[in-house]
Amino acid sequence: MVKVQFVLPEDLHRRVRKAAQVHGVSMSRFVREALERALAEEAAERKARRQRVLAELREISQRLAEKAPGLVHTPEDLNAMREERMDELMSNLRH
């Protein structure tokens, strides 16, 4: 472990000390566990937010594909276009 020192407002220090006593743990342990929970919750929220954004993008992409066929390409389409372009460039290099 790494020793860390930081300053807390008196009220927060009092609340943390009391909460640690209620839970029967040291202040250090209480703060470590609280930080672990906070960081885990933050990571879960970021993941959920990313999933919502990706779902919205898929929905937008699907609506665009329905309204303007050919405007939105699937990954398979893009790979096929890339391969065709690479073949074209390689052919030009040979001649």
Phi, psi for 37 (deg, rounded to 5): -65, -45
Percent pLDDT > 90 in the chain is 75
Number of domains in the chain: 1
Is residue 3 a part of any domain in this protein?
no
Cβ atoms 29, 17 nearer than 8 A: no
- Give the pLDDT confidence score for residue 27 in this predicted structure: 97
Is residue 25 a part of any domain in this protein?
yes
Is residue 5 a part of any domain in this protein?
no
Cβ atoms 66, 58 nearer than 8 A: no
Domain that holds residue 39: 10-94
pTM over 0.75: no
Which parts of the chain fold into alpha helices (H)? Answer: 10-23, 27-67, 75-94
Q: Which tokens sit at 58?
A: 């898929």
| pLDDT tens string 22-69 | 999 999 999 999 999 999 999 999 999 999 999 999 899 888 888 887
- In angstroms, how far is CA 20 from the centroid of its own chain? 31
Is residue 52 a part of any domain in this protein?
yes
Closest CA to 29 of 20, 37, 38, 18: 20
